[in-house]
């Protein structure tokens, strides 16, 4: 059982949780993730470790409320518990001095970008950041990233925060004006694909961190398989980061829809139940 | 005239009933039936059956006690060499081990050794509890066990009996390995596995779940804190068919399908949160026990059309006869001498079918079985929305990757001595599927017993 120190909604439908996980906090490196199980009925949910406090033995997780599990997660209060936290899992990001590293985060993908940007900065790189979201209310970690990055650009689809447009716009502009040695991009699949297409043309090494559907997260089920350079790789143990120029994003996008029907039925039922509970409680 | 009593049959849930539930198929012996069956044993002086058992259970010994109604004593005798009798009674391939060598089998039917083993173990669990054995010796050393499947649990039990401090590191949230994620509830109720693990905990074994050794910590890191390490990480790396369309929605490895249903209880979705696609028409590829388990699980998830596609004929199937028989009874459609060529899907990437080709049997191959050869121009399509690939598993690679000094073979299995299960790394022992490749529960337990004896020697002498 893992004690929840805090859990708050920090943007529209985006939550931030600080939870006890001593071993994970001790060992985690940028780019790694955990799998959590909320309660005895819970599924195994992979979440990137956005930060850790070794002294307190806690880790920080960000999540977007998209279905039943993340909705349940958002309702937990400090003082309550997560049933399981497994991790750190996956390969850490390759952190070394590359020169100038451009970190791009989209939506909830900004959360995994933050520890990577921090680690790259610590390793002596010049770090530029570009973050984007559909609208201002969905932006996270802007202040934290502006502390770590030498420059930070913000985009929203509707212009409600930062500039109106997509992160790819910022990417193209930066590539015009300065030499970038490495791009790290995490976000929705179409964003990562678009970034990858631009950097491939310019031949700039690019890593993406994938958010495939997972079960065990230890290489045993293959549910998270993804085609990388015509080879099947498991995101959980071979990744989660891969050379963007080799990833088959179209296949990944289709696989992410696998449980759309089941999940939406389950989420609808869950919301219905929550409302019923609300009626009873208020009642 | 013991041999004149026929082998007692165990009643089973009717196939039409049982495909609607996940309850165990056999209903167990009554006390009377168990005693009658036990009395069939002629108590050979030189029993062949014991030789056929990978852990050499004193079979005539326990059956003699069972025949006299001393069921608890019978369990104690089994537990002398086999710490998981309720499990083995259910999942061991007795027909190719102990029962195959039973002398009665030459003229009559062999004694139902497995069913009796399961019966006395269930009696102990349900009726009269044995207290976990107290340490026989006080070793006082620290042993780490990586993986809590049959091999790891055996080592943990044996080490705890000797008074050593045992810590099991398990990657998943629930211990038991393949016994909990792989074998379905209707073949091995999870209550049994949990009971056996509770017994170990009562003996002082510490279990750390959610810990994947080899990512943050290597074997060397573990060796700094422990006097010996046993690696029993199993064969959990799923093989795929490597044919076009394999990454479409609806194509599962058997590991994923079974893990979702067994470990994560997707059969109770949405009560439990983990989903699984409930296909209208499902094909399982493979002919082993895992394929049978997958097909029978699919049948229980309201699927009326479950195909089992196997490239050889029925007689070459590696699955236990009992499992094949149960699958047939449950209406699984056997597409034998058929091999998948490619998966077919719609524009959204959802599986809609599989193209297969007919096979015929040619000359024997390395396994001694006749090699299947494609029949040109015999392609046909099965319309399915879920495919389950059950063609085998390779060794879990994570521990080996973190330990460059650990010798492995060309398939990635850890190399260990046949008798002592010692690896190339001092202080590190390994056994079960991680060494042998995918095999049976009881063979993994046999390796665990050998390793336990050798670990004890090593801890006593320090000699490698």
How does pLDDT run across B83-103, given as a tens digit for each residue?
899 999 999 999 999 999 999
- The helix/strand/coil state of B380 is strand
Question: A220, B396: Cβ pair inside 8 Å?
Answer: yes
Residue B355 inside a domain? The answer is yes
pLDDT band at B205 (very low <50, low <70, confident <90, very high): very high
Residue B132 inside a domain? The answer is no
pLDDT in tens, B219-248: 999 999 999 999 999 999 999 999 999 999
Torsions phi, psi for B383 (to 5 deg): -85, 115
pTM for the structure as a whole: 0.93
The average pLDDT across B241-260 equals 96
In B349-371, which positions are buried (b, 16+ CB within 10 angstroms) versus exposed (e)? bebbbbbbbbbebeeeeeeeebe
Q: What CATH number corresponds to the domain at position B352?
A: 3.50.50.60
pLDDT in tens, B261-309: 999 999 999 999 999 999 999 999 999 999 999 999 999 999 999 999 9
The average pLDDT across B168-183 equals 96
Whether residue B407 sits in one domain with residue B380: no
Write out the residue range of the structural domain in which residue B118 sits: 2-126
pLDDT of residue A9: 93
A263 touches chain B (CB under 8 A): yes
The average pLDDT across B161-169 equals 93
Whether residue B277 sits in one domain with residue B219: no
Residue B134 inside a domain? The answer is no
Whether residue B210 sits in one domain with residue B77: no
Question: A222, B215: Cβ pair inside 8 Å?
Answer: no
Q: Which of residues 51-80 of A touch B (CB under 8 A)?
A: 68-69, 72
Structure tokens at B16: 């039409």
- As a whole number, the mean pLDDT across chain A is 92
Range in A243-257, B135-149, B380-394 the model is least confident about: B135-149
Whether residue B372 sits in one domain with residue B327: yes
Q: How many whole angstroms separate alpha carbon A212 and alpha carbon A231?
A: 16
pLDDT of residue A281: 45
pLDDT band at B4 (very low <50, low <70, confident <90, very high): confident
Question: B249, A257: Cβ pair inside 8 Å?
Answer: yes
Question: A86, B252: Cβ pair inside 8 Å?
Answer: no
The average pLDDT across B398-415 equals 93
Residue B131 inside a domain? The answer is no
Question: B212, A89: Cβ pair inside 8 Å?
Answer: yes
Question: Could you say which of B375, B391, B407 is where a domain stops?
Answer: B391
Who wins on pLDDT, A279 or A160? Answer: A160
Whether residue B86 sits in one domain with residue B50: yes
pLDDT of residue A275: 67
pLDDT of residue A258: 87
pLDDT of residue A283: 37
Mind telling me how many Å the CA of B299 is from chain A's nearest CA?
19
Question: Could you say which of B373, B391, B409 is where a domain stops?
Answer: B391
Question: Could you say which of B391, B416, B433 is where a domain stops?
Answer: B391
A264 touches chain B (CB under 8 A): no
- B174, B235, B238, B273, best to mutate vs chain A, most A CBs in 10 Å: B273
Whether residue B116 sits in one domain with residue B25: yes
A92 touches chain B (CB under 8 A): no
pLDDT band at B134 (very low <50, low <70, confident <90, very high): low
Question: B264, A215: Cβ pair inside 8 Å?
Answer: yes
B246 touches chain A (CB under 8 A): yes
pLDDT band at B133 (very low <50, low <70, confident <90, very high): low
Whether residue B255 sits in one domain with residue B193: no
Range in A64-73, A261-270, B113-122, B308-317 the model is least confident about: A261-270
Contact A51, A60 (CB under 8 A): yes
Question: B172, A218: Cβ pair inside 8 Å?
Answer: yes
pLDDT in tens, B13-70: 999 999 999 999 999 999 999 999 999 999 999 999 999 999 999 999 999 999 999 9
Domains and CATH numbers, chain A: 2-89 (2.40.30.10), 100-256 (3.40.50.80)
Using CB atoms, pick whichever of B238, B247, B348 lies closest to residue A221: B238
Between CA B150 and CA B158, with CA B152 as vertex, the angle to 5 degrees is 100
Residue B18 inside a domain? The answer is yes
Question: A232, B246: Cβ pair inside 8 Å?
Answer: yes
Question: A232, B247: Cβ pair inside 8 Å?
Answer: yes
Whether residue B370 sits in one domain with residue B274: yes
**Is-cis flag, bond preceding B123, omega within 30?**
no
Q: How many domains are there within chain B?
A: 3
Strands B351-364 and B380-383: antiparallel
Q: Which of residues 197-256 of A touch B (CB under 8 A)?
A: 215-216, 218-223, 225-227, 232, 237, 251, 254-255
pLDDT in tens, A232-249: 999 999 999 999 999 999
Q: What CATH number corresponds to the domain at position B70?
A: 1.10.1060.10
Counting residues of chain A whose pLDDT is more than 70, the rounded percentage is: 96
- B270, B351, B387, best to mutate vs chain A, most A CBs in 10 Å: B270
Residue B2 has pLDDT above 50, yes or no: no
B404 touches chain A (CB under 8 A): no
> Could you tell me how far CA B30 lies from the centroid of its own chain?
26
Whether residue B400 sits in one domain with residue B385: no
Residue A276 has pLDDT above 80, yes or no: no
A-B Cβ pairs (cutoff 8 Å, strict): 124
pLDDT in tens, A28-75: 999 999 999 999 999 999 999 999 999 999 999 999 998 899 999 999
B215 touches chain A (CB under 8 A): yes
Whether residue B269 sits in one domain with residue B384: yes
Whether residue B77 sits in one domain with residue B177: no
Residues of B in contact with A254 (CB under 8 A): 248-249, 348-349
Complex confidence, ipTM: 0.92
B165 touches chain A (CB under 8 A): no
Whether residue B99 sits in one domain with residue B26: yes
> What separation in angstroms does the CA of A99 have from each of A91, A123, A173, B291, B362?
22, 10, 18, 52, 61
Structure tokens at B108: 């009559």
Using CB atoms, pick whichever of A37, A225, A259 lies closest to residue B247: A225
pLDDT of residue B366: 83
- Which residue's entry shows tokens 């991009």? A185
Q: How many whole angstroms separate alpha carbon A80 and alpha carbon A199?
A: 44
Structure tokens at B261: 């249903």
Q: Classify residue B420 by its DSSP letter.
A: T
Q: Classify residue B250 by its DSSP letter.
A: T
Using CB atoms, pick whichever of B265, B273, B396 lies closest to residue A68: B273
Mind telling me how many Å the CA of B3 is from chain A's nearest CA?
47
């Amino acid at each position: 059982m893992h004690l929840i120190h805090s859990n708050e909604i920090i943007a529209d439908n985006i939550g931030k949780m600080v939870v006890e996980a001593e071993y994970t906090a001790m060992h985690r490196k940028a780019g790694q993730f955990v799998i959590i199980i909320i309660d005895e009925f819970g599924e195994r949910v992979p979440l990137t470790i956005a930060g850790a406090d070794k002294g307190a033995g806690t880790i920080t997780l960000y999540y977007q409320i998209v279905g039943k599990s993340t909705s349940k997660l958002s309702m937990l209060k400090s003082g309550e518990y997560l049933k399981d936290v497994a991790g750190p899992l996956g390969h850490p990001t390759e952190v070394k001095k590359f020169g100038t590293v451009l970190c791009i985060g989209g939506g909830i993908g900004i959360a995994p970008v933050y520890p990577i940007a921090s680690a790259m900065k610590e390793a002596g790189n010049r770090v530029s950041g570009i973050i984007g979201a559909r609208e201002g209310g969905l932006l996270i970690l802007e202040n934290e990233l502006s502390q770590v990055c030498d420059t930070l650009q913000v985009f929203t689809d509707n212009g409600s925060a930062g500039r109106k447009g997509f992160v790819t716009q910022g990417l193209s502009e930066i590539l015009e004006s300065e030499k970038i040695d490495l791009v790290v991009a995490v976000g929705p699949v179409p964003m990562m694909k678009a970034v990858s297409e631009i950097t491939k043309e310019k031949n700039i090494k690019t890593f993406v961190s994938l958010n495939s559907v997972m079960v065990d997260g230890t290489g045993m089920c293959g549910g998270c398989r993804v085609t990388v350079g015509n080879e099947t790789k498991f995101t959980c143990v071979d990744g989660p980061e891969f050379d963007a120029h080799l990833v088959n994003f179209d296949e990944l996008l289709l696989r992410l829809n696998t449980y759309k029907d089941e999940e939406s039925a389950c989420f609808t039922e869950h919301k219905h139940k929550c409302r019923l509970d609300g009626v009873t409680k208020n009642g | 005239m013991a041999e004149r009593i026929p082998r007692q049959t165990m009643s089973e849930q009717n196939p039409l009933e049982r495909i609607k539930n996940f309850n165990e198929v056999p209903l167990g012996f009554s006390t009377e039936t168990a005693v009658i069956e036990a009395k069939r044993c002629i108590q050979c002086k030189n029993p062949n059956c014991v030789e056929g058992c990978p852990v050499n259970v004193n079979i005539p010994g326990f059956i003699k006690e069972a025949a006299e109604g001393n069921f608890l004593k019978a369990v104690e005798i089994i537990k002398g060499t086999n710490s998981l009798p309720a499990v083995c009674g259910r999942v061991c391939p007795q027909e190719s081990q102990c029962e195959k060598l039973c002398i009665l089998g030459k003229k009559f039917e062999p004694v139902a050794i497995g069913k009796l083993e399961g019966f006395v173990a269930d009696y102990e669990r349900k009726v009269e509890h044995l207290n976990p054995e107290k340490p026989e010796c006080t070793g006082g050393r620290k042993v780490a066990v990586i993986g809590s499947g049959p091999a790891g649990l055996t080592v943990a039990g044996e080490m705890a009996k000797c008074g050593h401090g045992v810590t099991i590191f398990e990657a998943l949230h629930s211990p038991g390995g393949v016994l909990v994620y792989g074998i379905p509830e209707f073949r091995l109720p999870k209550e049994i596995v949990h009971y056996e693990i509770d017994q170990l905990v009562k003996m002082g074994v510490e279990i750390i779940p959610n810990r994947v050794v080899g990512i943050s910590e290597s074997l060397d890191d573990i060796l700094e804190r422990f006097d010996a390490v046993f690696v029993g990480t199993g064969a959990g790396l799923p093989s795929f068919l490597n044919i076009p369309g394999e990454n479409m929605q609806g194509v599962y490895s058997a590991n994923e399908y079974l893990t979702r249903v067994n470990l994560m209880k997707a059969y109770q979705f949405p009560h439990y949160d983990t989903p699984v696609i409930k296909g209208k028409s499902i094909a399982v590829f493979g002919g082993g026990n895992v394929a049978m388990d997958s097909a029978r699980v699919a049948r229980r998830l309201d699927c009326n059309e479950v195909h089992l596609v196997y490239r050889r004929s029925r007689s070459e199937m590696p699955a236990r006869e009992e499992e094949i028989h149960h699958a047939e009874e449950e209406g699984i459609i056997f597409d034998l001498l058929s091999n998948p060529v490619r998966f077919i899907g719609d524009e959204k990437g959802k599986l809609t079918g599989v193209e297969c080709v007919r096979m015929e049997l040619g000359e024997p191959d390395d396994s001694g079985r006749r090699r299947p050869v494609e029949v040109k121009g015999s392609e046909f399509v099965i319309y399915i929305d879920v495919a389950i690939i059950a063609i085998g598993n390779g060794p879990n690679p994570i521990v080996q990757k973190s330990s460059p000094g650990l010798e492995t073979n060309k398939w990635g299995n850890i190399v260990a001595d046949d008798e002592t299960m010692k690896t190339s790394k001092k202080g590190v022992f390994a056994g079960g599927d991680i060494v042998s490749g995918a095999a049976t529960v009881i063979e993994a337990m046999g390796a665990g017993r050998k390793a336990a004896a050798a670990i004890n020697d090593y801890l006593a002498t320090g000699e490698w």
